[in-house]
Chains A and B, each alone.
Chain A
Amino acid sequence: MSVELLKPELARIVRIKPMVEDHHLFQVRFEDAETVESFRHRPGQFVEMSVIGSGEMPISISSSPTRRGILEFCVRRVGRVTNALYRLPQNSLLGLRGPYGNGFPIEEMKGNNLLIVAGGLGMVPLRSLLWYALDNRRDFKEITLMYGCRSPAEMLFRYELETLTVRDDMSCLLTVDDKAGQEWDGNVGVATDLFAGVEFDAANTYAAICGPPIFYKYVIQKLLERGFSKGRILMSLERKMKCGIGKCGHCGIGGAKKLVCIDGPIFTYWDVVDMREVI
């Protein structure tokens, strides 16, 4: 075995599904059959994905550990490596290493209600948790998803999520800031508006949240108002990362008291509430 911790394994893009503009879903399978078998991840974990020749970047695993074999990544095209990824045709090889990060504390969350609040691209890591919970439905009590996007055209996994709205074993609330003249007959308003009219048993609920920086501020405020204790608010943080394994230093928060890559990316609000430079 190689002593090089930073060595990626080869994986193949089996399918590329364009979702919304500049967001594609990449279905990927490791080349090595044994790795396909042995790879295990928790919802909320991520991988370091390499586009051979261009570079490497952290990407959340968007598929649930309950769906094995193929890993799904939803990547937004923003810069150098993501652009390079978008140039790859189906069937191309990639490098993957991981899974990294702590992931959601599933064991602890079991037996509780689950509230998932996502904004924009924040749906990506939470989708893994959502499907994990739905596939292990009996492990959780009530499951609620609140997902807000700027416009219908920016809603990730829209089709998939709309099918959830008819399920009676969960409640799926979708909203857009603005219809922007597009076809949409759901809620209009920011994600926090969805809290209106929903009752929580805060003491028996875990809230998992992910979204853009400003989103955290408002959602956390709402959750605290509803009596959530800080330790039950779980959030996924994003920082610059190079190694993903706690060595390169870039993702330090609070004077590197915590490294997002190994201590996170999932933190409870309590973990970071007193920490500098977090939100």
Chain B
Amino acid sequence: MTRKIQVNRVARVEGYGGIQVEIADGRVKDVKMNILEGARFLEGLVGGRRFDEVPDIICRICAICSAVHKLTAIQAMEDALGVQVSERTALLRELLVQGGNIESHALHIYCLALPDFAGVASVIELNSTHPDTVAEGLRIKKLGNQIQETVGGRAIHPENAVIGGFGRLPVADDIKRLRDGMAQGLDDVQALLPFVRGLEMPDYREGSSVYVALRNGDKDFSFYGDRIVCSDGAEYPLSGYKELTNEFVVPHSNAKHSRHNGKPFVVGALARLTLNGDRLGGAARRAIDALGLVLPTTNILYNNHAQVVELVWALERGRDICERLLEMGLEQEKPVEVKARAGVGTGAIEAPRGTLYHQYELDEEGRVVKADVVTPTAQNLSAFEHDMRAMVESNQGDDDATLRLKVEMVVRAYDPCISCSVH
């Protein structure tokens, strides 16, 4: 007897993807994450474009992670063109990354993931059962957008970030406002901790267990890094990301898959916490305890918890960056002048969903010869399937609807960004 679990369109995720599970005679035969989102071939489309046009185009890969796409592209271009930016610029960029991260994590936790646990269809319904939580969540989400608007010039596709710096720097008053918002955000997020701790987590055996993230120096917990580290002990320089990802095409998905040593691996909040979590202090450390989060875990559903911890961290880190910027002062500075030249450059930043890589090869005129973008969701797709399989195997006794919800919860726990994965 074959049993089929099918989800035509996974809801509460960005983009268009479906799930197909086939169980034959008690054995899980097939698990597929069908990525149905159309391919835009953006890597192909930027061919021939001048270097300075590329970040604005390529960030359109995804709205939710547009800030980090833009900054990763900028980083890659600066790498190729040998551009060094000021400390102020670097701080503002990190603030922008945090803004994107705060918005994205808040969106995912409060609007996309929590409804599952509360047994409702959406944040709108959640609002009738948990109005305070929703209000807090939307406030934090809005703060994330305010940061992106203030620093990036727009909440989505932040046009202010350019190669060499920023078009126009925010003024001190703006930064003060953000700092105060961050303090409020830290208050708001507290109420979430006991709530999330109390959630009932569907369990399953043997999820994916190789975690990958960037690592920065030897002290920081950061979304930036100088090397790629894997929980199986492997390490790569940023420019060696292809040895990690080994992207390949599978016929049921418009997005490529990645495997490391033939095995799926996981990037994202849970990976970052597993690998670098010991570097966390302050409110984030306390949040781990408050959530009762025990690491390492192979249950990807705890990625939701990890995102909560990172949200706390981002708010705290964001506040510190603001303080630092205010100390430094915010005199206007023009973007560093950039001269076209040939070269290859790599950029890598931790996006909300995991490590994002951009690489560009430029000709002497500074026009793109080759572009490569590897997104976190694409890296995670193999792991999606692995974890869904484990979830189904562990919960075969459930009826179809429950099982369907559980596999969907696995997918949602990854906080997939399907447009990103295809691009």
Question: Do A and B share a direct contact in the complex (Cβ within 8 angstroms)?
Answer: no
Interface set of A (CB-CB < 8 Å, partner B):
none
